Amino acid sequence: MLMDLKKKGAKVYVSDYRSPCRALVLLVALAVLISTSARADVVYDGFETKALNTDIWSVRQAPPAGFWLENKRFREGKQSLAFGIRVQDLSCDNFCQRTEIRLAKRHRILFGTDAWYSFSFFLMAETPIRENTRWVTGQWKQDGEGSPFLAQRFEHGVFHITVQDGNCRVLVAQSSLEILPIPDTKDLENQAGEFPNRATRRHSFLSDKYLYKCSTDIKVQQSADPTLPEPFGSWIDMKYRVRAGLDGMGLVEIWANGKFIARVTGSIGYPAEPAATQYFKFGIYRDVMEGNGLVYLDDFKRETIAP
């Protein structure tokens, strides 16, 4: 059941109540939101309904057979949302394999809005993901069809996160394979042949390497242990603070399984019109490759931060 509660500028969209206990917790949270004069916008989906809630999600890039509610694997409650790709499932004029949902148009927010995002996901693949093959599961995009300004990527089996400054891509963090400290831009700017924005030749798993050969004002501050969890075969709980912004005003903070990973500042996104919006997408978007793929999503929440 979708609830749209509006009082004193507060908006809350809740897809389901999992249990009386959770319902009580949510009602308390709603009371707190309603009691504040600052405008808030909360979207939550635990995927406990009989069908995907299309008041929250758009399925324009998800074929009917490409997603389903799953009661055999879940993070909490009794269900999650599953996405499946078979070898023969082709899209993008036969150049990609895709099944993705995105937040519905009514839930888009203005580009540059400060917001928290949290969700849990579980990824499986029949064959290893080879080098130089794109696989994106979780992305933040502006209006249009350009690359995401923030993305979760899986290439050569390495879970990594990137941000985008126009056509310049920056590696923020990665799982344990070839894990390296991220040097400052100034340490690389005079080294011909190296990527001047923290991704070096030793990061052989990266696809689209040309996008990293660029200059940017983005700065990455990693934690003492910035290693992302291994991407396959277990639930990963992600939390992000996301504020896209040009002219050095962008901010992204990342947690994985409760551990702080990195803080990113600088110009994040593409030149945009004043009224441009942004949205979140999740599912499977990958180059054509052998082997079936399967991803589960659970406990999604987005909460805007009042200015």
300, two tokens: 């999604």
Q: Is the separation of the CB atoms in 278 and 109 below 8 Å?
A: yes
The identity of residue 250, as a single letter, is G
pLDDT single digits (tens) 240-275: 999 999 999 999 999 999 999 999 999 999 988 878
Residue 20: pLDDT above 90? no
d(CA 121, CA 1): 23
Cβ proximity of 253 and 262 under 8 Å: yes
Quote the Cα angle for 12-16-17, to 5°.
100
pLDDT digits (tens, 9 = 90+) for 94-142: 788 899 999 999 999 999 999 999 999 999 877 656 656 788 999 999 9
pTM above 0.75, yes or no: yes
pLDDT tens string 208-234:
888 888 889 999 999 999 999 988 889
Give me the pLDDT at residue 129, please: 63
H or E segment and range at residue 31: helix 20-35
Give 74 or 185, the one with higher predicted confidence: 74
Q: Which residues contact 64 (CB under 8 A, 6 or more apart)?
A: none
How far apart, in whole angstroms, are the C-alpha atoms of residue 41 and residue 33? 9
Q: Is 71's pLDDT higher than 60?
A: yes
Q: Name all domains of the chain by residue range, CATH numbers in brackets.
A: 54-304 (2.60.120.200)
- pLDDT score of 3: 36
